[in-house]
A and B are shown apart, each in its own frame.
Chain A
Amino acid sequence: MADTTRRTGLHDLHIERGARMVPFAGWDMPVQFPMGVMAEHLHTRARAGLFDVSHMGQVLVTPGDGRIETAAAALETLIPADLAGLAPGRQRYGLFTNDQGGILDDLMVANRGDHFLLVVNAACAEQDIAHLRTLAGVRITPVTDRGLLALQGPEAEAVLARLVPGLGEMRFMDSRILDWNGADLWISRSGYTGEDGFEISVPEARLEEFARALLGHPEVAPIGLGARDSLRLEAGMPLYGHDMDGSVTPAQAALGWSIPKVRRRGGARAGGFPGAEVILPELGAPEVIRRGLRPEGRAPIREGVAIFAAPEGGEVLGHVSSGGFGPSVGGPVAMARLHVDLPEGGQVWAELRGKRLPVTLSALPFVSPSYKR
């Protein structure tokens, strides 16, 4: 088979730093560095971790008539978020939905004054762009000449501020264009770890130079996809294709919070997006919803493991949608869509290698976020 795996602009740097590379969503990506997943995870929570997320899709949505309201209105026909009310320099989390009420992808949308910047999942990027191109009155421009980094952790701000003055004024979910030695950095204060931090879009020609500048600070270590997954799992953040997909509604994915009042029934711009007639009535009362699970003992329960109501026999309540070991929690953590009436703190059983292990229903997230609001 032909090797069509794509490489990010940091591929050589990853190899130089001893990364173990794996194919991910069509890209050759570092899953871990010599530090190892556990230490990388803990380093990010204690100091600052640098992630290459250049595989993610960056897309500009520009209004044909020059009015940002036109682009906001167009995007709102695909995304049940308040984008007309999104102030310049601010970013919001949103979902692309389908006609069945399921989730096509999750994304970040930033208002950059005269256009929107969208960041979408790598595996969905092509489909998302085609989906966006069905919109009238806007120009859709995939950004192909920039890489994307995430600098996450309690020391991320101090490190980045040394390179980029003016950064400290940014709050959680602010989006700015700031200069670094003549390179325009598209920075948002956000991430996928539950830590304070930044996502930084960098011109491809300056990407490696900028990554090296960050790694030159003693607080910063390179972090692979392995720790990215355990960090987001502990932070209770869903992963597209696992915790949600085209057959899972926003309410079932516990993402109803991303649909504001103004887009709900009775709101000024209620509905008007794919699947609204399924999604909106379900918001207050989904039958199943993404829940947290804390298995007893140390054995992780991973994606696909069946959850039962009883230690023997009984019905299957659902299946783990993502799970693993949480280094900061110090034990296994998992998520599954289960009935809303099961009480938090209550016990269910996970069937692992033919044995049923007790599992406690737990609130999400497993670790408290530390965003700078």
Chain B
Amino acid sequence: MLKYTEDHEWLRAEGDEIVVGITRHASEQLGDVVFIELPEEGREVAAGEEIVVIESVKAASDITAPVAGVITGVNAALADSPGDVNGDPMAAWFFRIKPAEASAMDGFMDEAAYTALVE
């Protein structure tokens, strides 16, 4: 199941975890990404907390935790090749989060709603 946030993150449910990345639209808006700082595994985060720093050639941006929970994994390879976010944003995941609430994915946009938002 793939859902989207208004902050242009994609969320993919995998078991009881959610994998999080940013959309093609977001990566195009950011421009060439040159630096990514990921959160520590095991960190407990609140919904809306800024947990990833993305620096593009143009500016610094933050990625927020879409839901409250615990970070269970990060894509460490991105630190060495941040440009992957521009190459294939749907494959370049940032972190996995185990949500505090099982219904965490409810209420986010599906693909049709997200497509309507960015068009």
Residues of A at under 8 Å CB distance from B? Answer: 31-32, 36-39, 226, 230, 297-300, 302, 324-325, 327, 332, 353
Take A36-B31, A37-B32 as given contacts and tell me if A327 and B57 are in contact as well, using a CB distance cutoff of 8 Å.
yes
Q: How far is the CA of A31 from the CA of B82 in the complex (A)?
A: 21
Give Cα A299–Cα B32 distance, bound, in whole angstroms: 13
- Contact indicator B34/A36 (Cβ below 8 Å): no
CB-CB < 8 A to A32: which residues of B? 31
Q: How large is the interface on B (under 10, 10 to 19, 20 to 34, 35 or more residues)?
A: 10 to 19
For the complex, give the distance between the alpha carbons of A60 and B95 in Å: 58
Q: Is B55 an interface residue (CB 8 A)?
A: yes
A299 to B57, CA, bound (A): 10
Pick from B32, B34, B57 the residue with the most CB of A within 10 Å. B57
Instruction: Report Cα–Cα, A332/B83, bound state, in Å.
Output: 15
Once A37-B58, A298-B82, A302-B60 are accepted as A-B contacts, the answer to whether A353 and B53 lie under 8 Å apart by CB is yes
In the bound complex, do residue B31 and residue A299 qualify as a contact, i.e. CB atoms below 8 Å apart? no
Residue B35 at the A interface, CB < 8 A? yes
Which chain A residues border B83 with CB–CB below 8 Å?
38
Is B110 in contact with chain A by the CB < 8 A criterion?
Answer: no
| B contact residues vs A (CB 8 Å cutoff) | 31-32, 34-35, 37, 53, 55, 57-60, 79, 82-83, 86
Q: Tell me the dominant secondary structure on chain A's binding face.
A: mixed
The answer for the CA separation of A302 and B56 in the assembled complex, in Å, is 12
Report yes or no: B58 in contact with A299, Cβ–Cβ below 8 A: no
Contact B31 A325 (CB under 8 A): no
Q: Are A37 and B55 in contact (CB under 8 A)?
A: no
Given the contacts A226-B58, A324-B57, A353-B53, A298 and B34 also touching, CB distance less than 8 Å:
yes
Tell me the nearest residue of chain B to A230, going by C-beta.
B57
| Residues of the B chain whose Cβ atoms lie less than 8 Å from the Cβ of A37 | 31-32, 57-58
CB proximity of A352 to chain B, nearest CB, Å: 9
18 A–B contact pairs at CB < 8 A? A32-B31, A37-B31, A37-B32, A37-B58, A38-B32, A38-B34, A38-B83, A39-B32, A226-B31, A298-B35, A298-B55, A298-B79, A299-B35, A302-B59, A302-B60, A324-B57, A325-B55, A325-B57
Known: A36-B31, A302-B60. 16 other contacts (CB 8 A): A31-B58, A32-B31, A36-B32, A37-B31, A37-B32, A37-B57, A37-B58, A226-B31, A298-B34, A298-B35, A300-B55, A302-B59, A324-B57, A325-B55, A325-B57, A353-B53
Q: Which of B34, B37, B57, B82 contacts A226 (CB 8 A)?
A: B57
